[in-house]
Structure 1
Amino acid sequence: MRMTKRMLSISLGQGQGPVAEKMFIEAIEMGSWVFFQANMLRAFTGQVVEYSDFISSEKPKVSEFKWLLFSLCLFHGVCLERRKFGPLGFNIPYEFTDGDLRICISQLHMFLTEYFDVPFKVLTYTAGQINYGGRVTDDWDRRCIMNILGDYYKPEVINGQYNFDESGVYHQLPEGTALVDYVGYIRSLPVNDSPSLFGLHPNADITCAQSETFSCLSVLLSLQPRSVGSAAASQEDVTFHLAENIISQVPKPKGKEAIEQIQNKYPVLYEESLNTVLVQEILRFDKLLVVIHHSLTDLQKALKGLVVMSDTLEKMSNSLFTNVVPKMWASMAYPSLKPLGAWVSDLQARINFINNWINGGIPPSFWISGFYFPQAFLTGCLQNFARKYVVAIDSINYCFEILQQNP
């Protein structure tokens, strides 16, 4: 066995104890190696203000310390603000704290006073792999942080004319700038930072704005009154009738026997890949319909007091009342941003499209967005063409023609 397969590593960040223990036990049983990357956190309660005497002194490397200190604080702010972009910022929203910044400042001061030259490799490793990296559990996030840190811990930043972004809004201050002037400059920075500062495309603001909008609307929906007027129905009554209406509107699952009959009608054929696509679509939609009908039936029983109202059913009830697709359904369904009413109508249309295919054979035209998994349909069409004309599927692709009028 190669050494790379026997060598495992893990960052001992928050919540990683049980994972590290399990990995350690498995390594003992299999004879593998485990490399634990631990946080070198130590007691540090000081703030940047504690270094004001050093900053205002005439000791050597004061200017280097101020420039690197400002660069490090900017890096800390970038790491915190990238979380608002969701997965575009980090795969996991890590809770970086002021303690991470404080220990980095302490190490920066210590290494600058002990080394003749600025030890960028040491500073980068301690900050990126240990202090901040100790909280990071995703390999891609660790790689991202190390690349970001490389823009703030490098020789070029030790310059009063250095700009951190293309616009020049974020820049180093001239040598000899007092601590008070640094504070004043930081307060003058824009409230809404440009995505370019975080290394992101300007369109990343759209994702951030959408996330904030959805969060605000979700809070507003949760705050709306559960009843209107003295004669209005309660939330339980509204939810019960809504569940009853959805059950009557959404088709029931086909079941195992019906699916087997469809498979016999549309068997797996070498020359017709769309048969396989159809059966796969039926299986996917059937699983979704099973979840919908079972959950609605359980919810009605819970509202009547026949079964216990679980946390999942309560969340589902709140989603139905606020016209939001329950997460239980969304996790089993195709991607959609529609509200509950439009989502149910769209589901009916998709099921009708599949049923028309079953009853009438392969249609002359297809509703591509009506598929549960459109990629399977597109691949199936490529397979049919490749097998008919005996060409490699990797050598063909789709081309598009813009029509002047509807066909």
Structure 2
Amino acid sequence: MDPMRVEDYIGLIRNLPDEDDPAYFGLPANIERSWQRIVSSQVISQLKVLMRSPELASRFDREKWHAQLSPVLNLWKKLNQGANLIQAKVAIPSSSAESPIKAFIQLEYYSVISIVQTVHRSLAQLSKVIRGTLLLSAGVQKLAESLLRQEAAGTFEIVFGGISQTPSGWQKLWDGPEDPLQYLRSLIRRALGIGKWVGKSDQGNLLREALDLSDLLHPATFLNALRQQTAREYGTSMDNLVFVTSWSRGGIPDAKVSMKWSGLQLEGATFDGSRLMHNSHDSPSITVAPMCTVAWMPKNLPNRVYHEELLSVPVYSSSDREQLSEPMKSSKSSSGMCREVSGLFTPKEFTFPCYCKLGLQEPLERACVAP
């Protein structure tokens, strides 16, 4: 065979495609959609920054504060219309709850109502200062500075120098979204969601219905409460339990305590409840996963799923994938599946095994699951 000439190498280089195949880097075919979504969010955040004067937050100007902060105050007023959260009277839950799950829900409801009312008091003081009925205090000044300097994090952090997002006082109460408006929306949505959980718990049918853990402030704590209640039902220690999942309609019939988990979102692959499939270049960046049944089971009970056929999939609290909620294990029918599954999102962070039967006709290397 004749040796290759320099011209042959040059020809090969010139014939290389302008865009690399995402598969070379262990990424799904539609990764560009996810990238565009992230970049567009960053651009929008930076445009908001350009609309604000850097000197506005450092000095008090009633007219400018009114113009810049009215959207926040109006949004909060709109979110609370008809919700009756600000007027709600809640007492510290007693320790005499009949079950760990009920105790968790009572404490979660007390916490979210307390946070809502604390945020309301701070915004009410800010509103009074803007209207001229209350003197400016250091606390109100700090709150206004945080809301006025809504600079984006990430790649633009170095350019603009420093990050000012959701007020730190709010984040200490609940570690939520960094954008103040998203924080307020998420807080009210969880307050209303947890209120529905309280009603279901009082009626005794909480675990009979599908539950969306994005309704909670602390979803990982709920899974621990589920684990503790299961340990009581089986009369065993919590360390003797393993996390089991099922995507079938029959759920986990052998489990004494189980939960139907809805609202999971999948990134990096497509899953119909029985088969995990590759994404194409025009597939949505995020898809809704089928409802999943989860339970804690004693290790000594027979398990129909072979552990060597399981795929561990991380469960994150958001699509940012910054906080891992729980690793879930799914059964795999072919090798090389782990790299492409990015994660499941529950709109916080755990790492448990989740078992589900997956039928793949070819290796899947770039998928990701999240709630």
TM-score (norm 1): 0.38
Normalization by structure 2: what TM-score? 0.42
Q: Give 1 or 2: higher strand fraction.
A: 2
- Larger RCO of the pair (alpha carbons < 8 Å, separation 6+): 2
